[in-house]
Structure 1
Amino acid sequence: MLEALETQDVLGDGLITADALRAAGINAHAVDLLVKRGELRRLRRGWYALGAKWKAVGSDGQYCLFARATAGAAKRPMVLSHHSAAAMHGLPLIGAWPATVHALAPDAQGGSSHRLVTTHRAAADPNTTLITGVAVTSLARTLVDMAAGCSFLTGVTMIDHVLHQESRRVMAGAGNPGVPTITKAILFAELEAARPRTGRQAAERAITFADELSANAGESLSRVRFEELKFEIPELQVRFDIAGRSYFVDYFWRGVRKIGEFDGHIKYTRAAVMNGKDVVGVVVAEKDRESVLRPYVTSFDRWGWNLALNADEFYRFLCEKGVPRAR
């Protein structure tokens, strides 16, 4: 039976329908037992995923599976938008994904929310794209919708991510021929075309504040905190040339010669960063790097997720460390 489930998993690219299970000779009673044992995960009525795969893909992948199942079960073609499109495009979200699937409804009289689907009355997107067989709003439109309809943090985090990825592709010469690189200008043009009913100023603010030099969601979170808590926005990815080597730092307040770094511990787990070293070796290398930089600045401070997510504690931390206030 497990072999049959794995076959259906491959055929459905991670999704397994009740019809496919019946065709494979697995009746409703057997399905219930598989769900109880955790070998199958029921996403919604008539749609399943392998239990092991569900656990392995994490919250981002789980929301994508749910969105794809909901689109597959829809009676009419559905264009995923907002959070659902963001998840399908692989955009980072600080916080939890919603409990419903978001979709465009250009012809509706107004947005609505049902048990599993939230629809948005908005201009149709002429540039929708297919991801794993599901229609979703274009990457540029998705960023604009999220910036207009969500928090400043969410908008900035996602736009930072795309601008950073796009800049890296351009530098590597890996852009797609005929596909324009997403820039702030492209996003402002998309905002004009989308004409959101609300949130236009919020979207403009997020696009303006976004920075391609912000390398990950934690760095974006920290920058948003600096802005919201009225601290000076530092320079990003500043290079220090010392003894024939170059060192880049996350944040540099040049006026007071202060370095700040977001330490999300990702560098201690990602294979690309580990480069064959063990965790101890990576930590020692970071300490050695900090020792090299300290003589050239007045201070070198680090923080992580827990501190940056707590606005009150982060405010006190920044005050205590002498981070300059915004003028």
Structure 2
Amino acid sequence: MRRQELARVAPGSYFSSAQWQSLDDIGRTVITARSMAERWASPPVFSHGTAAAIHGIPLIGAYQNGVHLIVERTSSVRSRGNIVRHAIGVDSDDVVLIDGMLVTSIARTVLDLAVDASFMTAVAAADFALCHKRPGRIEKLSLHDLWEGRLPFRGHMRAKRVIDFSTHLAESPLESGSRVNIHLLGFPAPELQVPWRDHLGLIGYSDFFWRMFNRVGEADGRSKYFDDTLGRGRSPKQIHYDEKKREDRVRACGPGFSRWDWDTGMSARRLKPLLLAAGLVPVGLEAAGRR
């Protein structure tokens, strides 16, 4: 293979450019980590965003900031190039072996991200780890126990905020990110995955429901309509038609209905006017209005 057909993924390691371009952020991070692990005499323990990628945890904008490793607290080796070393140490119980690579456990990975990543990124990772639909999900109690067992540590209050806010009911990064922005904008916390029924039976579950405003919110990413796996063999047109019928049945039960996409859910600036137009009122303003 000619040199111009190769992509450099690590010092001395190359990968097919065509295949590299076809990978998503998770795939590229895993390939890079594997290339490094194979060249080092002492196997590293991957952590943070790198560990998240190896576990398959979808993150919001946090993969392309280097390869993250955990080293002993007493280590004098510093971060260099695209290798980010965290001298925080890790117990052997919090390290797992995945495809020949040593990686922090899902719970420990979430806790590390809760300290160092943005609130939105960390919440999305925690929500994924807890998700009630994910095989092998972890329990929130395990995150609390791990947090308590590490005390005191840098950023422990920041991490606790993430753990307390996380939920097993968010089913996508878009739902997690939207929920964070709803919170940061000061709107009331919605109920999640509320079931809706009519005379025909169960309609489905709404992503968000504000009972006091009788308003349903749905966060729909592009994958809902174009991912073949999620579509279960249906065409985008059929998915759109089925979703429209579902929405009409929910509306017939009485609530208003708002829907937004990834670009809106990830942007507080875009989400705020949509929620205000839906009749929602930020908590402080609502309280002032009752005086």
TM over 0.5: yes
> Is 2:221 aligned against 1:264?
yes
User: What's the CA shift string for 1:230-250, capped at 9, x where partnerless?
Assistant: 101100111111122212111
User: What's the CA shift string for 1:240-291, capped at 9, x where partnerless?
Assistant: 1112221211111111110000011211122343222211111011111111
State the partner residue of 1:137.
104
> Is 2:96 aligned against 1:168?
no
The match for 1:320 among 261, 265, 277 is 277
> Is 2:40 aligned against 1:74?
yes
* Matched residue type, 2:280: V
Q: Which deviates the most, 312-321 or 230-239?
A: 312-321
Q: Which deviates the most, 181-190 or 216-225?
A: 181-190
> Structure 2: how far apart are the matches of 1:64 and 1:159?
20
> Structure 1: how far apart are the matches of 2:268 and 2:77?
32
Q: Which deviates the most, 45-54 or 131-140?
A: 45-54
Runs (4+) of structure 1 exceeding 6 A deviation are none
> Structure 1: how far apart are the matches of 2:264 and 2:58?
19
Q: Are residues 257 and 110 of structure 1, via their aligned partners in 2, closer, same or farther at CA, if it must alter by over 3 Å? A: farther
1:260–1:302 CA contact under 8 A, matched in 2 = yes
The match for 1:93 among 19, 35, 59 is 59
The match for 1:239 among 195, 218, 235 is 195
> Structure 1: how far apart are the matches of 2:152 and 2:89?
8
> Is 2:10 aligned against 1:44?
yes
> Structure 1: how far apart are the matches of 2:152 and 2:67?
19
User: What's the CA shift string for 1:121-157, capped at 9, x where partnerless?
Assistant: 1132312111121111111111110111111111110
> Structure 1: how far apart are the matches of 2:82 and 2:38?
13
Report the count of equivalent residues: 282
In structure 2, runs of 5+ residues without a counterpart are 285-291
2:133–2:171 CA contact under 8 A, matched in 1 = no
> Structure 2: how far apart are the matches of 1:251 and 1:117?
40
2:198–2:253 CA contact under 8 A, matched in 1 = no
> Structure 1: how far apart are the matches of 2:128 and 2:180?
14
> Structure 1: how far apart are the matches of 2:130 and 2:33?
25
State the partner residue of 2:171.
215
Q: TM-score, normalised by structure 1?
A: 0.81
> Structure 1: how far apart are the matches of 2:74 and 2:64?
22
> Is 2:117 aligned against 1:150?
yes
Q: Which deviates the most, 130-139 or 186-195?
A: 186-195
1:163–1:212 CA contact under 8 A, matched in 2 = yes
> Structure 1: how far apart are the matches of 2:133 and 2:247?
26
2:174–2:266 CA contact under 8 A, matched in 1 = no
1:79–1:136 CA contact under 8 A, matched in 2 = yes
**How far off its partner does 1:292 sit?**
1.3
> Is 2:148 aligned against 1:192?
yes
* 1:256 counterpart SS class: coil
> Structure 2: how far apart are the matches of 1:44 and 1:275?
38
2:62–2:121 CA contact under 8 A, matched in 1 = no
* Matched residue type, 1:157: A
**How far off its partner does 1:75 sit?**
4.2
* 1:113 counterpart SS class: coil
Q: Are residues 138 and 42 of structure 1, via their aligned partners in 2, closer, same or farther at CA, if it must alter by over 3 Å? A: same
* 1:123 counterpart SS class: coil
Q: Are residues 314 and 215 of structure 1, via their aligned partners in 2, closer, same or farther at CA, if it must alter by over 3 Å? A: same
Q: Are residues 86 and 110 of structure 1, via their aligned partners in 2, closer, same or farther at CA, if it must alter by over 3 Å? A: farther
* Matched residue type, 1:264: G
**How far off its partner does 1:94 sit?**
0.9
RMSD: 1.9
* Matched residue type, 2:98: I
**How far off its partner does 1:224 sit?**
0.3
1:187–1:207 CA contact under 8 A, matched in 2 = yes
* Matched residue type, 1:225: N
* Matched residue type, 1:281: Q
CA radius of gyration, larger in: 1
State the partner residue of 1:305.
262
Provide the identity percentage.
33
> Structure 2: how far apart are the matches of 1:280 and 1:307?
22
Q: TM-score, normalised by structure 2?
A: 0.90
